[in-house]
Amino acid sequence: MLARWIAACRSRLSALAGRKRFEADLDEELQFHLEEAAARHVRRGLSWEEARGAAARQLGDVGLTKEAVRDESGARAFQDLGGDFGQALRHLRRMPAFAVTAIATIAVCVATSTAVFSVVSAVVWAPLPYPEAGRLVRLYNSYPNVGFLRTGTSVPEWFDRRERATTLTDLALYRQESNTVTTAEGGRHAFALRVTPSFFTLLGATPALGRLFDEAAADTAGPPPLVINHDFWQSAFGGRPDAINSIVVMDGTRYALIGVLPPHFRWPTWDAQVFTALRFTARDRGVQARNTDEFEMLARLAPGATVNAAAREVNAINAAALESYPADKARLVRDTGYTTVVRPYLDDLVRDVRQPMALLWMAALLVLAIGATNVTALFLLRANARLREVHLRLALGASRFRIIRQWLAESGLVAAAGGAVGLAGTVAALRLLAAFEVYEIPRVRDVSIGGPVWLWTVAVVVIVSALAGGVPAWSAVRRRANLTREPSRTTTAGPTWSQRGLVTSQIAFALTLAITAGLLVASLRNLNAVQPGFTAEGVSLAALILPGERYPSGAARVDATARLLAAVETVPHVGRAAIASQLPFSGGDGRTGLIPEGVSQPAGRSIAVPFHTIVSAGYFETMAIRLRTGRLFTDLDRLGGPRVAIVDRALEQRYWPDGALNRRFWFGATQGPAAEAVTIVGVVDSVLQNSLRERESAGAIYSFNAQNPPGFFRLAVRFDGPADWSKVREQIATVDRALVPFWRESLSDSVKMSLLFQRGPMQLVGAFSVVGLFLGALGVYGVLAHEFGARRREIAVRLAIGGSHRGILALLSRRWSVLVVPGIAGGVAGALATSRLVESLLFETGLTDPMVIVAAVGVLVVAAAVAAVVPARRALAVDPALTLRQE
C-alpha cells in the first residue's frame, strides 16, 4: 500500500518535474498528426489551406486534447494544488491585515510551544546517551528522622553491594572534584570526577585513544592513571596523540595520562574534563567509614530486576551490615531512620526541573490552544463574509471538496508562514537560553533544534491549518441549506455557535493561564519578602584552590589564606574579604554530624546534622551576619590550640535552649576523647543555607579556618563601591601566581538563582498569560463586532420603534456574558485541574488562593470589557434612519 502510494507520488512528481519536456513532446506529436492528416487530404486533392483546415477540424480543439492528455499524465493533482496555493496567495494579499494577524498569532504559538518543546524534550524526555540508559539507577542514603533526606554512599556499602546484590550490576562510585591541572602553559582549572573503574563500564564508554581504568590491572606501581575527555584533550593538549602516556601534574600529584574519551561521551550535568581512579583498600571497608556518605553511587539494574526489588535488597544488605556496627553507632544510625533510596537515574537527574517543565509545557500548550482557536475564529469570520462567494461557486458546479481544498490551501499557507516565523523565534529563544548558561537545568546544553522539534513544528502547522481551514469550510458547507433559502441575508449572518464556542474556550484557557501565573507571582512575592539572614548585595564570590604541592601543611595554608585576604583588602572599595569552605546558596550541601556533650535527646534526634562551614574571622562581617552572644573568632584561636566553634540560633535552640556559650560537642557520630571536643564561643543569627523556601533551619556550625585550614574554598569580597574584580585578581597574583580565582559570581545572583525554578516559570507563564488574555480579548472583540455588525438593521428597527439605548446595551451585555461567563467557569475549573503541576512551586500561597483567582478573573473581565467597548459604541451610534435607508 505504502509502496504503491510512494510510486504514484514519484510518478506524479517526475511528471511535474519533466513538465516542460512533456509539453514539448505533446506539441510535437500533435503537430506531426496534423501535418500527416493534412498531407493525406492533399493527396486526395485538397489544397494545402483546405487540407490544414480539415485536419484541424478532425483533431478537434487542440487545447482540450492537450488538457485531456495532461489529465491522464497524473501530474494533475499537484498542478491543481499549485493553482489552489496561487489563488490562496492572491486572496491573502488582498487582505494583508488578516494575513499578518493570523501569521503573527501562529508565529507566537509556534515559537512558544516549540521553544518549550525543545527544552522539555531534551531535558526531561530524551533518554540519557548511554547504553540501556533506562536501567541506570542512582542510589543514595537518607536519614529522614534527622531531616537529612539525601546524602551519598559510603565505600563499605559499595563493597557490600558488589559482593551480595543480585539486582544490581556495574556498581560505580564517583565524586566530583575541582582541580588545577598544570600544563606547559601554566595552571589550568579542570572539573574532575574521581571514579571507580566500573564507572566507564556502566556508562558504556570506550576510549577514543589509549585505554580506560582497568579493574584488574595493578596500577599501584608508578603514577596513578588519568583519563581526560575529548574537549580537554583538544584544549589543554592541542589534540596531540602523543599526549598519551605523558605525565600530568594535577594539584601537585603526578598522573599518567592513559586515555582520551570519545567526543560524544558526556557527563549529563556538567563538563567533567578529567577522570581519576578511585581505589579502595580493606581499610576503607572499616565500620568507621560507614555512613560517611562521601561518594555518589550509580548502578545498572540486573536483567529482570525492578527498582523496588533493588531497594528492598540493598536495604536488607544495610540491615545485615548494621549488626557488625559497634552498639552505640548502630543505635545512632538506626535512630536516624537510615535507608538507601534507589531511583531511576534520569528521574533523579531531572527531579528539580520536572515540575517546572511540566508546568511550562502545560502553559505552552494552552497558548497554542488559544492561538489555534483564535486563528480558527479569524478564518471563520472571514468565511462568513465569503459565504455568498462559496454559494455562487457551488451553484456554478465547483465541488465541495474543491472549495474545502482551497480554504485548506489558504490556512495551510498562513500556518506555514507562521510556523516559519515561529521557528525563527524559537532559534532566537534557544540562543538566548544558551547565552544565559543556566547550568542549574541538567542537560540544558543538549537543547537544540533537532528531528523531534521539526516534527513537532510540522505537526503544529498541520493541525492549525486543518482547524483554521477545515472548521470554516465545514461550517460553510453545512450552512448552505440556509443560504439557498435566504440568499439576500448571506452577508449579514451573525456569529455561529462554533465561533462563540471558540471564543469561550479561549477565555477559559487564558484564565487558566492567568490564575496559574497569579499563583506563581504571589509565591515569588512571598519568597522575595523572606530575609535570608545575611546581606547579599555587594558581595562578590569566587572559588580558589591552594595547590597541595605548594601548600602541603596546615600552617602553610593558614598563612597563605591570611596573606591572600590581606592583599584583597588593599583593593580600593573592598570593605571586607573572607573565605568559607561552604557558602549559603552555592549549591554545596556541606552538612556534618555532631554529638552535643551531655545533651540527652529523644531517639532519632541524638545526632545533629547542621550545615557546617569553615570560615575566616572576617566572614560574619563580610556577610553581615549578626553576633548575638559571645565572640567571633580571634587570633587567639590557633592551629593546635583548643578547638572553638560558633553556632547559630537555630542550633542553639535545638540543643542548648539555655544557652550554647561554652558548651561542647564532637564532630562525627560518636563522642570522642575530651581533647577533640569543640567549645562554642559565640552564637550568631540563623541564615538560610540553600533556598528561601527553607522553613525549618537545620542549624549551622562555623569552624575557624585558622584551626582547620581548607585547601579549596570560596572567597567572599564585600565591596562598598564599584566592584573591580581585575584588581582583586591582580592582588591575589601578588601572593602567588598559581592562585587563580574561578567560578566568579555575585552572592545576590546566587540567591536569585536559587529562585530560578520559581522565577523562570513565573515569568514565562506570566508572559504566556498576557498573550493568552490579549488573544482572548481579541476573540471577544471579533465575535461582538461581527454580531452587532450583522444586527445593525435589527438595532435600527428597535431604535426606530422607540427602543432605548439602554435596551441595546442590555442586549450587548447579554451577548457578552454568554461568551465570558462560561469561559470564566471553565478557566477556574481548568486552573484547579492543573493545580497539581504548580503545587510544588508555590510558597505560602494556597492552590485556591481567593485573592489570586479574584484578581485573575478581574483582569480577564476588564480585558473582555475593553474588547466590547468598540462594538458597543458602534451599536449605540447606529442612526436608524440612515441604516434603514441603506437596507
Partner 1 sequence: MTENRSLVLLGTLELLVLKVLELGPAHGWGLAEALESMTDGVFCVNQGSLYPALQRLKRQGLVTASWQRTEHGRRARYYELTAKGGRRLADQEAQWSRTSGAVNRVLAARRTEA
Applying CB under 8 A, the residues found at the interface with partner 1 are: 11, 25-26, 28-30, 32-33, 36-37, 40, 58-61, 64-65, 68-69, 71-74
User: By the 8 A CB rule, do 8 and 74 touch?
Assistant: yes
User: By the 8 A CB rule, do 399 and 473 touch?
Assistant: no
**End-to-end CA, the chain:** 58
Q: Counting beta carbons within 10 angstroms of the beta carbon of residue 122, is it exposed (0 to 12), middle (13 to 18) or buried (19 or more)?
A: buried
Reading phi first (left if > 0) and then psi (alpha if -120 to 50, else beta), residue 251 is in left
Nearest-approach distance from CB 64 to partner 1, in angstroms = 7
Task: Please identify, using beta-carbon distances, which residue of 46 and 855 lies nearer to partner 1.
Answer: 46
Which grid cell sits at 229?
575527555
Task: Please identify, using beta-carbon distances, which residue of 63 and 673 lies nearer to partner 1.
Answer: 63
Nearest-approach distance from CB 69 to partner 1, in angstroms = 5
Task: Please identify, using beta-carbon distances, which residue of 11 and 734 lies nearer to partner 1.
Answer: 11
Task: Please identify, using beta-carbon distances, which residue of 54 and 317 lies nearer to partner 1.
Answer: 54
Residue 681: its H or E element? strand 678-684
Nearest-approach distance from CB 23 to partner 1, in angstroms = 13
In this structure, what DSSP letter does residue 125 have? I
Which grid cell sits at 781?
472583540
Give the SS3 label for residue 561.
Answer: helix
Task: Please identify, using beta-carbon distances, which residue of 67 and 132 lies nearer to partner 1.
Answer: 67
User: By the 8 A CB rule, do 118 and 445 touch?
Assistant: no
Task: Please identify, using beta-carbon distances, which residue of 72 and 163 lies nearer to partner 1.
Answer: 72
Q: Which residues contact 402 (CB under 8 A, 6 or more apart)?
A: none
Alpha carbons 381 and 498: distance in angstroms, whole number: 11
Nearest-approach distance from CB 39 to partner 1, in angstroms = 9
Using alpha carbons, list the distances in angstroms from residue 111 to 102, 426, 580, 867: 14, 5, 44, 26
* β-bridge pairing 186-195 and 274-277: parallel
Nearest-approach distance from CB 397 to partner 1, in angstroms = 21
Nearest-approach distance from CB 1 to partner 1, in angstroms = 19
Nearest-approach distance from CB 792 to partner 1, in angstroms = 54
Task: Please identify, using beta-carbon distances, which residue of 63 and 602 lies nearer to partner 1.
Answer: 63
Alpha carbons 590 and 17: distance in angstroms, whole number: 69
Residue 343: its H or E element? strand 339-344
H-type alpha helices, 288-446? 307-322, 327-335, 345-349, 354-385, 387-395, 400-436
Task: Please identify, using beta-carbon distances, which residue of 26 and 861 lies nearer to partner 1.
Answer: 26
Nearest-approach distance from CB 59 to partner 1, in angstroms = 5
Nearest-approach distance from CB 53 to partner 1, in angstroms = 12
Nearest-approach distance from CB 67 to partner 1, in angstroms = 9
Cα 354 to chain centroid, rounded: 9
Task: Please identify, using beta-carbon distances, which residue of 55 and 842 lies nearer to partner 1.
Answer: 55
Give me the residues paired with residue 883 across strands. Answer: none
DSSP labels for 506-556? HHHHHHHHHHHHHHHHHHHHHHHT---SS--TTEEEEEEE--TTTS-SHHH
Residue 746: its H or E element? strand 742-746
- Strands, E assignment, 616-677: 627-630, 644-648, 664-667
Nearest-approach distance from CB 9 to partner 1, in angstroms = 14
Which grid cell sits at 831?
486552573
Task: Please identify, using beta-carbon distances, which residue of 57 and 695 lies nearer to partner 1.
Answer: 57
Q: Which amino acid is at 456?
A: W
Nearest-approach distance from CB 130 to partner 1, in angstroms = 51
Task: Please identify, using beta-carbon distances, which residue of 73 and 708 lies nearer to partner 1.
Answer: 73
Alpha carbons 708 and 684: distance in angstroms, whole number: 20
Task: Please identify, using beta-carbon distances, which residue of 70 and 752 lies nearer to partner 1.
Answer: 70
Task: Please identify, using beta-carbon distances, which residue of 71 and 730 lies nearer to partner 1.
Answer: 71
- With the C-alpha atoms ordered 100, 104, 110, 111, is the resulting torsion angle positive or negative? positive
Using alpha carbons, list the distances in angstroms from residue 874 to 64, 797, 868: 53, 15, 10
Nearest-approach distance from CB 874 to partner 1, in angstroms = 57
